[in-house]
Structure 1
Amino acid sequence: MELSPPNKIVLNSSSKRVVQDKKELIVGLSACLMISGQRCQTIWARKSVAGFKLREGSVIGCKVTLRGSSMYAFVDKLINLVLPRARPSLINQAIDPAGAYNIGVSDPFLFVELEHHYDLFQSLQGFDIALVMSSREKSLVPLLWSGLQLLTE
């Protein structure tokens, strides 16, 4: 049995406010840039959903993919700075069937880079962080995340 290291981290920010007002996208883009240190790409809707007043091709958010040394620096920041500051109600975590560990951070001001710019990022909803593995042995994935002190369940 072999357990490979994480492949990539995807940091995602999307909100219904972006659909209504395109200027809100700038807030998400700048927050992702400050947190990750990389430029973000915009996310477009793949299909229309009438219940959400969403049309195909409209902008719904932004994402950034971290690999290599920037990925490990982000995991270090997540383990040592962000998660210890968070109350359990602000963090949602789950492991999906593919083995990715998903973290939902509802308070973006847990990140040190954003806490001094409260007036700029008031409208920011939060982030979704997906730590993606390429391991074939899916039963060992929770073992790795608990060893990195990310999985608390």
Structure 2
Amino acid sequence: MSRLHEIYSEKIAPELKKEFSYSSPMQIPGMRSISLNMGLGEGSQDNKIIQDAVQELSLIAGQQAVITRAKKSIAAFKLREGMPVGCRVTLRHRRMWEFYDKLVNFALPRVRDFRGVQDRGFDGRGNFTLGIREHTIFPEINMDKIDRVKGLNVTVVTSARTDKEGKMLLQLLGMPFIK
């Protein structure tokens, strides 16, 4: 069990149960998965960009990333159905907890002029999406070996029913929201 998962089980879950007065422990919100996504529009023209992104995302996540392909052809973007347009990876269980710990404690504080995370990324059902402009904030990325800085989206899927419950869960897990 990872360090953050132990903290969740021992301290955060009882606090959430008390705060929202749940009758059953199964009602207590928790993290279900974390999804990482890199969209690379210019990757449809150059296969090396896609391969580099898959390798870097796999390093960041600790799990092999898969290539996402276009579902429809769009003539204005010179895009045909089936062309590679990005990569993604979904983390669950131990890897999810370890990645969240690394994101909150190591990566986000390395962002330039970091003051906190906006809470506008909630979807109405307790899930939170965060956009990261530079993937170089993660400690696994070697600055000497990358040719271009890429952005990525991090989606934290929770079992919370409302945004208020989801925000409280993520705050207690260490997400630095702006007040």
Fold-level similarity (TM above 0.5):
yes
> Counterparts of 1:1-150 in structure 2 under 5 Å?
1=22, 2-87=27-112, 88=114, 94-114=121-141, 117-150=142-175
- For the pair shown, which has the larger CA radius of gyration, 1 or 2? 2
Number of aligned pairs? Answer: 151
CA distance in 2, matches of 1:53, 1:60: 12
CA distance in 1, matches of 2:51, 2:40: 12
Unaligned runs of 5+ in 1: none
CA contact (8 A) 2:127 2:156 kept: yes
Bigger share in strand: 1
What percentage of residue pairs aligned between the two structures are identical? 31
Q: Shift of residue 3 of structure 1?
A: 3.0
RMSD after superposition: 2.2
TM-score by length of structure 2 reads 0.75
Unaligned runs of 5+ in 2: 1-21
* Further displaced range: 118-127 or 33-42: 118-127
What residue identity is the alignment partner of 2:167? P
Bigger share in helix: 2
Structure with the larger RCO, 1 or 2 (CA within 8 Å, 6+ apart): 1
TM-score by length of structure 1 reads 0.87
